[in-house]
A and B are shown apart, each in its own frame.
Chain A
Amino acid sequence: MNRDAIAEAAMLLDPADAKARQRLATLFSEALPALAGTAQAAAREAAQLLSGDPPADLLDRLGRLTDDALAEAPPPPQAADPAAVADFLARASGEPDELAALALAWDGGDAEAKAELRRRLHTFKGDAGVLGLNDLQALMHRAEDLVLTAPGVPLQALLAACTWATAEIRHLTGGPAPGPAPRLDATPPPAQLGELLIASGAVRPESVAAALVEQAAEPSRRLGEVLVDSGAAHPKDVSAALAAQRAGATPHRPAAAPPTLAAPANQLAPATLRVEVERVDALAESVGELGIAQAMLANILGRTDRRTASLLARIDRLLRSAQDASNRLRMVPVRPVFQRAERAARELAARLGKPIAIRLVGAATELDKAVAERLGDPLLHLVRNALDHGVEDAASRAAAGKPAIATLTIAAERHDGRVVVSVADDGRGLDRARILARARERGLALPHEQAPDSAVWELLCQAGFSTAEKVTDISGRGVGLDVVRSAVHGMRGRLEISAQTGAGARFTVILPPTLVAVDGLGLMAGGQRFVIPTSAVRACLRPRPGDLDSVAGRGSVIAHQGRLLPWRPLPDLLGLAPLASKRPLAVVVDDGARRAAIAVDAILGRTQAVLKPLSGLPELPGVVGTAIGADGRVDLVLDPVGLLSTADDSVRKAS
């Protein structure tokens, strides 16, 4: 077979010069018994030997002959470098999806997609082959063959190949083993009954979908039966369709595929660029600096004349869009983080013997790469907690009348400019009485009798609570929740817990979309300027004399919207120089759990701050970082959560 192949290649070279032909033949015969890499090199050399512009189909044919030779060559004697394999798998995880998209585009009539598909299949196959992933290589080889030789578009076969490739890659990265690779066949599979019925207009697509679901529950029934029994289809239509199916009919397809599928390949897979994070950071930093310089310039020139002012305003707008663009560069989908959590959940569920269905929702939600990276561990923690402590064993679920398979939902969404990530289960939920009992046992400060549930759940996040050795005893979830909460706070986010006894629990992490910039409100207190993230500010107050009441031993309170809020001068919270003003203003700050009026001398207005870490200094409660103001001074950027918890401490100390 291979000798024939060599002969054929040599014949194809006619009328190229005889020396090249001979050399080619030698190369091939030498390459055959040798290793994969050698054969490939030989083919490359052979291609170079051809003088002038060799016809494209010749090169094509040569490439395929080489691949045939490769397929028959013995596998590499040594296992491929594991690091190289890992690297390939990381790069390849999205490739099957993109290949499938290309196949769909081709099916939609895009001829360029076919060429691109072939090229990508070829590269993919080559990479897999070099790393000794033989099954993957062989399948991609067959897929490539199909692309070249099939009369029409072998869509089903290609999609099957992509599905299997995805499963195989997941398997190689620790997932379950996929079934045997599909046999790829160019002839389209017999038309599905449902498809034919829909095409003939006899049945509505929704009815078929419903029937398929029903059929999945009872595999012994045929689809036609289900449709007829449910009254969705007339028996006559079904038998006509069955006859057509046996006759090998293909359903009449709409002339053009839906627009998303027909989009040209370059729109399906936007051109991407791999860039080191440092470069993106450097750009973000420069843009940030530019913003500061522009603000300084505006300070100097802003009031001179109208033309200057309007030009400055324009520069400001441009800078803002540059800032947005550079922030977007750092955005990545949360999917990989979710998938890691999903894998961990499956493993743990298998180990615990708790059958589980995992739903990933909103995995395309984008967030800053740094946030995504730091989200990984807390998310794993929450998932483990849910499985270990939330989801009951089979007997308890049955006793509670719950479905045997528990559901774990990991979701992300954008809300109000923030990223909201949640882990929810339908397990046993949280038990207020038992948590209180355990907290009492551990000597933790208890909330009062009528405290809302959220105040009780808050106990779970306390370090003292989570060190309990057998949290499972109290149906609690204390394991590492304090760690989760501090990790979330470290990202300027917050953790919310909602649960009902017996009906599952939801842990929600609310995060800023990025860590590099913050939309803030400038404040002045004790001669020093501060920035507080606007996301935490609920209102600004100018209290009249008499609005403030003092509560014995607890400092002052102020009424706001029917609630009494603690009144906390900012310098007192931070231990800095006292307020200068006799009639201070206040910002009402809310971190989700607590609310307080923080008194300041002046409120300076909104500002877009580029966050800089307090390098060399330890993390400070109440301060998340610094920003450089328009005058070049360093402003402290406040962290509402930390600020309010110091406020709490001061209350406790005072009482």
Chain B
Amino acid sequence: MVRFLLGRLAVLIPTFIGVSIIAFSFIRLLPGDPVALLSGERVMSPERHAIISAQLGFDRPIVVQYLDYIWGILRGDFGTSIVTKQPILESFFALFPATLELSICAILFAIILGIPAGIFAAIKRGSFFDQTIMGTALVGYSMPIFWWGLLLIILFSGILQWTPVSGRISLLYFFPPVTGFMLIDSLISGQAGAFKSAASHLILPTIVLGTIPLAVIARQTRSAMLEVLSEDYVRTARAKGLSPLRVIGVHALRNAMIPVITTIGLQVGVMLAGAILTETIFSWPGIGKWMVDSVFRRDYPVIQGGLLMIAAIIMVVNLIVDLLYGLINPRIRH
């Protein structure tokens, strides 16, 4: 297991260095001069431009700038936003819980509905039920989620007036963030109605972000189940006279879950991409919206730091999934 881990790390570290070079060089390629942007509408004299350039370190050789940037990252310093002047790491940690809370809810939504749906579809293979589920899953898989979000807003916020349109909680409530998770914080605050407000804000974004993972998990569960159900050991279990519930729940499910866990792990990247759209539609104050806003504001250091941190999260999650996979399925380790 240790060798497996070291082998994975040997690939991961060069990849991460590559990611950092990409994130760093993108910013150097972006059109527009960040120093001129700072001055806003006013015209800046060449002398002043040179002074600020030097202050920000833009006048040094690019390799020195890169090494300096990496040295900063190793000490936990990702630089500061040009627009808000806040340290990037600080904004990231302030915003990340919002994305994390939304992503956890979305993946739970996808798993809780997707795995049973896939199992039933596999058991009742070819039935009307199977065809309906798989048809729905393909629609979900093909869904432009930014449109799906708008449709849900029209229906639930517009026509039915059940859910709010945007944000994480009603403006009526205010309490200091403790965990950063609005559902937990609103409970801790003890204010009447706060939890309900937080939950109702969370419903639509959860559905929107969870739709594609739900479809993917249902499809994957079904095909993994079908494969396992045709195995000899399942036939043996049936022949021994075990109840269908036991055959499916114990013998088949355990092995069918191996590819499904990998699929769930791969959804992390899908979710972070989906967060860009979902958070934009629902004005959800997370890192997806933060990235989009920064692209529009040309806030270079934020784009750079955000790219790096998001890639790091995906890589770490993939590593964890690989390790889990190695634990469940020892064949993979060698």
Do A and B belong to a common assembly? Answer: no
* Residues of A near any B CB (own CB < 8 A): none
* Residues of B near any A CB (own CB < 8 A): none
